[in-house]
C-alpha cells in the first residue's frame, strides 16, 4: 500500500497518522492503528457518545440526528417483508433504537462505550457491550450508522455480522466517502477521516468488494445530504477558520451539487442483502 495522505487527530490527541491506499479494494487504511483505541474516544467532543448540546455544532448535530431517525427507520422498513427484528451495532446513546422500537421493531443494541450505554439506560434502552453477548439469535435487519469504519479486524467483523443475519434479511451501513468533493477539498483537514477512530475509509467499490466473499451484494445506495455540511463545519474549524459557518455552507452545498452528477456524496448509506 502506498501513502495517500498525512493527517492528525484534530479532536482528541493531536497525534499524527497516515492514510495508505489499498489499490485492490479502493480504500484507505489508517496507520498506525493503536492497540488500545479507548483513550481516543474519551472526550466530551466525541458527540456520538454523548447527548451534548453545549456548542452550536453539538446542537446542530442533535437537531439533524433527531430529524434523520425516522428516515433511517423507513429505509430499513422498506426492505423488510417478515418479522421486524433489528440489531443496531454502535448504538451510541440509543436514540435510533428508541425510534425503531416505537415503529414496531423488536430491538437489540450493542455499544462498547460505558458512558453511552449508561445514557441509553436512562432512556429505557439496555445495550449490550459486545456482539459476543448475542447467542443463537438472528436478525431481520442489522444497522451500522457510521460504525463500520471504527471496527478492527474488518473481515472477521463482516463475517460475524453476516452470520447474525436472516437469509432474507437486510444489512444497512452508513459510512463516509473519501471520494466526495468535500474530502478532496479539505484533504488532511477533512473531519470524516477522524483518525485514529476511523480505521478504514471506504469507497463504493470497496464496500462491494469487502462483502462479496461473504455472499452479500449492494442492492441500493442512498446519500446522506446533511453530512456534507456537518463535516465541512468541523473541517473549517480544524483549519482555524473563524468564518467557518459561511465557508462550510458553500463547500457543503457545492459538494452536494456535484454529487448529483458524480453520485459521490460525503456519506453514503449502503443496503446489502445475501445473494440468491
Q: pTM higher than 0.75, yes or no? A: yes
Q: What is the pLDDT of residues 239-256, one digit of tens each?
A: 999 889 999 999 999 999
Q: What is the pLDDT of residues 117-148, one digit of tens each?
A: 999 999 999 999 999 999 889 999 999 999 99
Cβ burial of 131 (10 Å; 0-12, 13-18, 19+) is middle
CATH number of 2-224+267-274: 3.40.50.150
Q: What is the pLDDT of residues 27-86, one digit of tens each?
A: 999 999 999 998 898 776 554 545 555 566 666 666 666 678 889 999 999 998 777 999
Q: What was the pLDDT predicted at 57? A: 62
Give the DSSP letter string of the chain: -EEEEEEE-TTTT--EEEEEEETTTTEEEEES--S--GGGG-STT-GGG----SSHHHHHHHHHHHHHHHHHHHHHHTT-SS--EEEEES-TTSHHHHHHHHTT-EEEEE---HHHHHHHHHTT-PPBS-GGG--S--EEEEEEES-GGG-SSHHHHHHHHHHTEEEEEEEEEEEEBTTSHHHHHHGGG-GGG-TTT--EEB-HHHHHHHHGGGTEEEEEEEE-TTHHHHHHHHHHHHTT-TTHHHHHHHHHHHHHHHHHHH---SEEEEEEEE--
Q: What was the pLDDT predicted at 65? A: 66
Q: What is the pLDDT of residues 89-101, one digit of tens each?
A: 999 999 999 999 9
Q: What was the pLDDT predicted at 48? A: 52
Domain boundaries, the chain: 2-224+267-274
Amino acid at each position: 500500500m502506498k501513502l495517500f495522505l498525512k493527517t492528525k487527530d484534530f479532536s482528541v490527541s493531536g497525534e499524527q497518522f497516515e492514510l495508505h491506499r489499498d489499490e485492490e479494494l479502493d480504500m484507505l487504511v489508517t496507520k498506525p492503528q493503536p492497540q488500545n483505541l479507548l483513550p481516543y474516544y474519551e472526550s466530551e467532543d466525541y458527540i456520538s457518545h454523548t447527548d451534548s448540546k453545549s456548542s452550536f455544532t453539538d446542537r446542530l448535530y442533535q437537531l439533524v440526528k433527531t430529524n434523520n431517525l425516522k428516515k433511517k427507520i423507513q429505509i430499513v422498513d422498506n426492505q423488510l417483508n417478515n418479522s421486524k427484528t433489528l440489531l443496531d451495532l454502535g448504538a451510541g446513546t440509543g436514540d435510533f433504537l428508541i425510534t425503531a422500537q416505537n415503529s414496531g421493531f423488536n430491538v437489540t443494541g450493542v455499544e462498547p462505550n460505558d458512558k453511552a450505554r449508561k445514557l441509553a439506560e436512562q432512556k429505557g434502552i439496555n445495550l449490550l457491550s459486545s456482539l459476543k453477548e448475542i447467542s443463537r439469535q438472528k436478525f431481520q435487519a442489522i444497522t451500522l450508522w457510521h460504525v463500520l469504519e471504527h471496527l478492527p479486524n474488518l473481515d472477521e467483523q463482516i463475517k460475524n455480522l453476516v452470520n447474525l443475519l436472516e437469509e432474507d434479511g437486510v444489512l444497512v451501513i452508513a459510512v463516509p466517502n473519501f471520494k466526495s468533493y468535500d474530502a478532496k477539498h479539505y484533504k488532511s483537514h477533512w473531519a470524516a477521516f477522524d483518525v485514529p477512530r476511523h480505521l478504514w475509509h471506504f469507497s463504493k467499490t470497496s464496500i462491494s468488494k469487502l462483502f462479496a466473499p461473504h455472499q452479500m451484494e449492494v442492492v441500493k445506495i442512498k446519500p446522506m445530504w446533511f453530512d456534507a455540511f456537518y463535516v465541512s463545519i468541523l473541517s473549517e474549524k480544524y483549519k482555524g477558520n473563524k468564518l467557518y459557518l459561511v465557508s462550510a455552507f458553500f463547500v457543503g452545498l457545492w459538494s452536494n451539487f456535484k454529487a448529483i452528477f458524480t453520485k459521490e456524496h460525503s456519506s453514503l448509506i449502503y443496503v446489502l442483502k445475501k445473494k440468491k
